[in-house]
């Protein structure tokens, strides 16, 4: 399993800013009077707006977003376990408006006239554009699991995967779990937002139950997949912290020397991962009787947190930007929709090759898109982009951190991952592991400022 050295990481991180260096290249003509409309005020939309105004202040940039504040989904599982509050994850748009001159229309988009290049809102406003950007996030496929409905997700079976009040409901449900109770976490199949997130949430819940004083709590992960981003580090951390025995099919992730270092525990710990090959695929949920049926059998629980399969945001479907995959196909260099000209889709809703669906990925795509839009609006050729992604996660214990760091390029029309070292080493010291946790929390602050300030 490859690991990442400081030198390699810094080299790759430097490569990710190569596109920004191209901003000094003279443009063929001015992009003044051009209008860019951005649908969605999340990470991708906010970053695109901010950096487009930094790169080309003369361009008029308008974000159409119904909410007047943003709640960040990244790091939001810590609301459930009390490390942060809803106030901590709520972000103002004031800096984008007042510091960068981004215009806002706080309304819901109902339609786009692609011929006349106008965005129509529920309030009847028509906003003209030269280039339209959508960064609308995700929606959920509740029909994929029998017994799961959108109404239940707002009450008894919240997923909490898009911030909002569902996090507070999950927090109350966790408090109500009886001593040594059982919690079921159901990660979605890929692709989905925040690849390490469901497993971090499972670890945080297990740690919360232990900190409460429970002796034998159980967090069961029913998973349709056989692996996940950061699994190499996460499973090792659980083995060390929570008496977690790594399932036999997953042990192939480690070499012989690493396997010799892994512990075999006689008494199982609080976390159980039933992977796809072991019957982890969820088939049915019964909210009334609090049971989950998976291929491996029927499981009773005191709290159920199933994250449904994900797809592009509903507005992307409504605007005919989605193909049969449930996601938005785009040109991998410019993120221009392959279905409608002069329309770009970034972030979770788009098909971005090897890039994951994460806040960091959306931020990286948005910065590249700002460069590309500046060029395209001036009649110039787009640049050859370089993208980055880093996903931080906690094992559960808030001093046990990990990350995956990747760089991506476009080859033969597809975004591909550069084959470089990615993870903390297996033999990382306790200090390195604690530093990774510290980096995670510092990144939350710095990243949010980069997007919204």
Judged on CB neighbours under 10 Å (0-12, 13-18, 19+), 430 is: exposed
pLDDT value at residue 33: 84
Average the pLDDT over 290-300 and give the result: 98
Average the pLDDT over 424-450 and give the result: 95
Task: Extract long-range pairs of 168-174: CB within 8 Å, 24+ residues apart.
Answer: 168/79, 168/86, 170/80, 170/303, 170/305, 171/79, 171/80, 171/81, 171/82, 173/303, 174/80, 174/81, 174/205, 174/208, 174/303
Average the pLDDT over 410-433 and give the result: 93
Site of tokens 């906003």 = 127
Structure token pair of residue 445: 């602050």
Residue 122 pLDDT greater than 60, yes or no: yes
The whole-model pTM stands at: 0.92
pLDDT value at residue 399: 95
Task: Give me the helices (H) in 114-246, please.
Answer: 150-153, 166-176, 197-212, 231-241
CATH numbers and ranges of domains, the chain? 6-137+313-452 (3.50.50.60), 144-306 (3.50.50.60)
* Tens-place pLDDT, residues 16-34: 433 443 343 334 334 568 9
Task: Extract long-range pairs of 119-125: CB within 8 Å, 24+ residues apart.
Answer: 119/37, 119/39, 119/64, 121/64
């Amino acid at each position: 399993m490859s690991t990442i050295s400081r030198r390699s990481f810094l080299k790759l991180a430097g490569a990710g800013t190569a596109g920004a260096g191209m901003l000094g290249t003279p443009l063929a003509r001015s992009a003044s009077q051009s209008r860019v409309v951005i649908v969605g005020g999340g990470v991708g939309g906010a970053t695109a707006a901010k950096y487009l105004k930094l790169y080309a202040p003369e361009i008029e940039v308008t974000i159409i977003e119904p909410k007047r504040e943003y709640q960040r989904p990244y790091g939001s599982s810590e609301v459930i376990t009390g490390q942060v509050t809803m106030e901590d994850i709520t972000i103002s748009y004031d800096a984008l408006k007042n510091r960068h001159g981004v215009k806002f229309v706080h309304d819901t988009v109902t339609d786009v006239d692609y011929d006349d290049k106008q965005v129509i809102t529920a309030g009847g406003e028509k906003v003209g554009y030269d280039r339209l950007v959508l960064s609308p996030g995700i929606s959920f496929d509740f029909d994929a699991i029998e017994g799961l409905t959108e109404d239940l997700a707002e009450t008894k079976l919240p997923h909490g995967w898009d911030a909002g009040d569902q996090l507070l409901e999950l927090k109350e449900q966790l408090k109500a779990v009886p001593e040594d109770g059982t919690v079921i976490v159901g990660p979605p199949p890929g692709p989905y937002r925040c690849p390490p997130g469901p497993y971090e949430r499972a670890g945080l819940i297990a740690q919360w139950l232990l900190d409460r004083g429970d002796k034998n709590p159980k967090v069961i992960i029913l998973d349709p997949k056989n692996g996940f981003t950061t699994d190499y580090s996460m499973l090792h951390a659980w083995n060390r912290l929570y008496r977690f025995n790594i399932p036999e099919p997953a042990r192939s992730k480690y070499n012989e020397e690493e396997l010799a270092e892994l512990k075999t525990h006689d008494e199982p710990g609080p976390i159980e991962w039933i992977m796809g090959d072991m019957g982890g695929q969820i088939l049915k949920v019964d909210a009334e009787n609090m049971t989950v049926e998976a291929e491996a059998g029927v499981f009773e629980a005191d709290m159920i947190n199933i994250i449904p399969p994900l797809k592009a945001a509903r507005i992307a479907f409504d605007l005919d930007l989605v193909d049969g995959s449930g996601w938005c196909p785009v040109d991998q260099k410019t993120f221009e929709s392959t279905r409608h000209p002069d329309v770009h889709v970034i972030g979770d809703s788009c098909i971005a090759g090897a890039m994951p669906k994460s806040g960091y990925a959306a931020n990286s795509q948005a910065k590249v898109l700002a460069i590309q839009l500046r060029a395209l609006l001036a009649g110039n050729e787009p640049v050859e982009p370089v993208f980055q992604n880093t996903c931080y996660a906690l094992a559960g214990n808030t001093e046990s951190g990990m990350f995956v760091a990747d760089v991506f390029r476009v080859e033969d029309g597809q975004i591909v991952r550069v084959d470089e070292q990615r993870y903390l080493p297996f033999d990382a010291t306790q200090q390195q592991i604690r530093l990774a946790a510290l980096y995670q929390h510092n990144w939350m602050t710095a990243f949010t400022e980069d997007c919204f300030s």
